[in-house]
């Protein structure tokens, strides 16, 4: 196990105030039931941004909380790494809009796009920059306004997702706390199982894209499910190996919050009892890049993470991408 370079000095989150419950879909003309959604996914409700809220505004609120908790001013941030699958614009990166909103004048800011693994990828990239000496203080954000990119006419996807943002300040570690191990992988041969085919440079936005609704998320749910379980179990094994720990040493598992059945399969594989697994998918749905960040903030704010605990983060998303970290708090 390596000596940690970076630790999470402050974590913040923001969730829009509007809540959409499973029962509300009927009034929107969507043919689904609370029972189907709860049984298949564990989701009961999700937060939905209003027209004025953006990834920039949501992540600014999350970041300011993280900065306050870390005792960090905007001018001290060297790098902003922002993960999102629903950027505010195709150009420029949402990270630079966040930089401007925060007034983080000397920060380099860029987006990472690893879908639901983005926040974990962001932590890994930021830790690497700190190891290289390129940065001392980093802001890592996961944010999504998925309500703008889901097809509200496709019941197989629109019931799954929610909006929100989470943020963490990374500072140089002193003592034994911080990131103990990291693991990340991707497999682009499976991109078409979960993607937005149209609207980018390969298939620019035009009448056809509009007609096919191909600028919205398309997902082969069953196939994604299979790969999610396989990849998240691999990722938990690899992060534990890297930290020279076993499931028994983990005080809290914080998995990507996409589906209760995937969470249970991941925990079972790592021999981590469900009492040691943080779950909020019932209240947020799948917030993709923001999911683990929001869960991390809730776990810490509710006292489920205390000093000295070993916390395992694991995620899987479109790409496919998957990633994991063990962090000692
Ligand atoms: N309400 C009611 N019925 C529905 C709904 C709905 N919202 N959506 C689909 N159905 C129907 C289908 O039409 C199908 O009907 P049929 O049998 O008559 O054809 C039936 O339910 C079964 O559909 P499946 O898609 O096979 O259902 P499944 O049991 O696989 O559950 C689900 C779907 C929940 C999407 C599941 O496959 C899943 O969770 N997949 C993983 C998704 C995921 O975790 N993504 C996260 C990683 S990536 C990321 O987060 C961006």
CA distance 267 to 289: 20
Cα gap 54→164, rounded to integer Å: 9
Q: Active site includes 227?
A: no
- Which pLDDT does position 1 carry in this prediction? 61
State in Å: Cα 119 to ligand 1 middle.
25
Cβ-contact 1, 28 below 8 angstroms = no
Q: How would you class 29 by CB atoms within 10 Å of its CB: exposed for 0-12, middle for 13-18, buried for 19 or more?
A: exposed
Dist. CA 64–CA 101, nearest whole Å? 10
Domain check: are 190 and 172 in the same one?
no
Cis peptide before 320 (omega within 30 of 0): yes
Q: Domain ends where: 142, 176, 210?
A: 176
Looking at residue 3, what is its pLDDT?
A: 82
- Contact predicate 34/42, CB 8 Å: no
| Cα gap 296→84, rounded to integer Å | 17
Residue nearest to atom 47 of ligand 1 (CA): 317
Identify whether 1 is part of a domain. no
Q: Select which of 138, 256, 259, 310 is catalytic.
A: 256
Residues 224 and 148 in one domain: no
Among the three residues 143, 176, 209, which one is the final residue of a domain in this structure?
176
- Residues 125, 184 within the same domain: no
Query: Of 22, 47, 55, 116, which one is the catalytic site residue?
Result: 116
What range defines the domain where residue 204 resides? 179-328
Residues 6+ apart with CB under 8 A from 259: 40, 41, 42, 225, 228, 281, 286
Q: Whose CA is nearest to atom 32 of ligand 1?
A: 221
Q: Point out the ligand 1 atom lying closest to the alpha carbon of residue 158.
A: 7
Pocket test for ligand 1, best of 37, 40, 43, 193 (most atoms within 8 A of CB): 40
pTM, full prediction: 0.97
CA distances, 51 to each of 54, 102, 145, 151, 199 (Å): 8, 21, 10, 17, 21
Using DSSP bridges, classify how beta strands 178-186 and 321-328 pair: parallel, antiparallel or unpaired.
Answer: antiparallel
Both 207 and 218 in one domain: the answer is yes
Same domain, 60 and 198: no
Q: How many domains does the chain have?
A: 2
Cα(100) to ligand 1 centroid in Å equals 39
Ligand 1 neighbours, Cβ below 6 Å, are: 32, 36, 40-41, 115-116, 155-156, 159, 194, 221-222, 224-225, 228, 258-259, 262, 286, 288, 316-318
Same domain for 166 and 187, yes or no, is: no
> Exposed (0-12), middle (13-18) or buried (19+): which is 64, by Cβ within 10 Å?
middle
The atom number, within ligand 1, closest to the CA of 261 reads: 39
Q: Which atom of ligand 1 is nearest to the CA of 41?
A: 34
Residues 210 and 156 in one domain: no
> What separation in Å is there between the alpha carbon of 36 and the centre of ligand 1?
9
Max CA distance (Å), the chain = 58
218-219 and 252-255 as β-strands: parallel, antiparallel, unpaired? unpaired
Specify whether 161 is located in the same domain as 130.
Answer: yes
Catalytic site includes residue 256: yes
Q: Are residues 292 and 244 in the same domain?
A: yes
Residue whose CA is closest, atom 5 of ligand 1? 156
**Rounded to whole angstroms, how far apart are CA atoms 197 and 215?**
6
CATH code, 13: 3.40.47.10
Residue 37 is predicted with a pLDDT of: 97
Same domain, 54 and 144: yes
Q: What is the DSSP letter of 174?
A: -
Q: Which atom of ligand 1 is nearest to the CA of 225?
A: 41
Nearest CA to ligand 1 atom 2: 32
pLDDT in tens, the chain (329 residues): 668 999 999 999 999 999 999 999 999 999 999 999 999 999 999 999 999 999 999 999 999 999 999 999 999 999 999 999 999 999 999 999 999 999 999 999 999 999 999 999 999 999 999 999 999 999 999 999 999 999 999 999 999 999 999 999 999 998 899 999 999 999 999 999 999 999 999 999 999 999 999 999 999 999 999 999 999 999 999 999 999 999 999 999 999 999 999 999 999 999 999 999 999 999 999 999 999 999 999 999 999 999 999 999 999 999 999 999 999 99
Contacts 24+ apart (CB under 8 A), 96-103: 97/56, 98/55, 98/56, 98/59, 98/60, 98/63, 98/141, 101/56, 101/57, 101/60, 102/60, 102/63, 102/64, 102/67, 102/74, 102/77, 102/139, 103/74, 103/75
119 and 64 part of one domain: yes
Instruction: State the catalytic residue, choosing from 22, 55, 259, 286.
Output: 286
The answer to the question of residue 124 being in a domain is: yes
Which of 121, 147, 176 is the C-terminal boundary of a domain?
A: 176
Same-domain pairing of 12 and 140: yes
Say how many Å lie between the CA of residue 41 and the centre of ligand 1. 9
């Amino acid at each position: 196990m390596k000596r940690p370079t970076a630790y999470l000095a402050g974590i913040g989150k923001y969730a829009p105030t509007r809540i959409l419950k499973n029962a509300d879909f009927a009034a929107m003309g969507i043919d689904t039931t609370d029972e189907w959604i709860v049984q298949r996914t564990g989701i009961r409700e999700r937060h939905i941004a209003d027209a004025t809220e953006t990834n920039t505004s949501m992540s600014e609120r999350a970041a300011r909380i993280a900065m306050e908790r870390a005792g960090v001013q905007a001018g001290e941030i060297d790098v902003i790494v922002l993960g999102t699958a629903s950027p505010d614009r195709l150009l420029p990166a949402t990270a630079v809009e966040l930089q401007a909103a925060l007034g983080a004048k000397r920060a380099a800011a860029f987006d990472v796009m690893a879908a639901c693994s983005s926040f974990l990828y962001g932590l890994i990239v930021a830790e690497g920059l700190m190891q290289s000496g390129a940065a001392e203080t980093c802001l890592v954000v996961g944010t999504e306004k998925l309500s703008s990119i889901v097809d509200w006419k496709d019941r197989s996807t629109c019931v799954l997702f929610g909006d929100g943002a989470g943020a963490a300040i990374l500072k140089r570690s002193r003592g034994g706390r911080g990131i103990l191990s990291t693991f990340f992988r991707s497999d682009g041969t499976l991109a078409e199982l979960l993607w937005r085919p149209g609207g980018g440079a390969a298939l620019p936005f035009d009448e056809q894209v509009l007609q096919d609704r191909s600028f919205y998320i398309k997902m082969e749910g069953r196939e994604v499910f299979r790969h999610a379980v396989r990849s998240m179990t691999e990722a938990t094994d690899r992060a534990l190996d890297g930290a020279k720990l076993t499931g028994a040493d983990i005080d809290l598992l914080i998995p990507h919050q996409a589906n209760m059945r995937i969470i249970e399969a991941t925990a079972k594989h790592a021999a981590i009892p469900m009492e040691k697994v943080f779950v909020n998918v019932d209240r947020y749905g799948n917030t993709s890049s923001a999911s683990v960040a929001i869960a991390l903030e809730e776990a810490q704010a509710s006292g489920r993470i205390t000093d000295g605990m070993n916390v395992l983060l694991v995620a899987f998303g479109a790409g496919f991408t998957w990633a994991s970290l063990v962090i000692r708090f």
